[in-house]
Amino acid sequence: MLIATVPAQPKKPEFVTASLSLKTITITWDEPSYIGGIPMDRYDLWIDDGAGVWSLTAIAFNPPAGDKTFLYSFTSLTPGLYYQIRV
């Protein structure tokens, strides 16, 4: 059994790059300043549909062991829309 406390919220994700031709947006974020006593084994990523409607299902991101900064690319996006992203 693991005993831990609720970790701090991660900082807002930061924009890294976007590709119109590849229809992708890449973001980065750092591990929270306090992780609750056990390693973070998953982050839930959310992206809206470009019209402000959030999906009902998060994308599960499993961080590589030892990394403290993470990168993720959202793919198959529609060019010309404004997307919001949450971690």
- Domain residue ranges of the chain, discontinuous segments joined by +: 14-86
* pLDDT per position as a tens digit, 38-65: 777 889 999 999 999 998 999 999 988 7
What is the mean pLDDT of the segment spanning 33-39? Answer: 79
Cβ pair 55, 48 in contact under 8 A: yes
Residue appearing with tokens 């994308």: 59
Cβ pair 72, 85 in contact under 8 A: no
Superfamily for the 14-86 domain: Immunoglobulins (2.60.40.10)
Is residue 66's pLDDT more than 90? no
Largest CA distance in the chain: 48
pLDDT at 46: 94
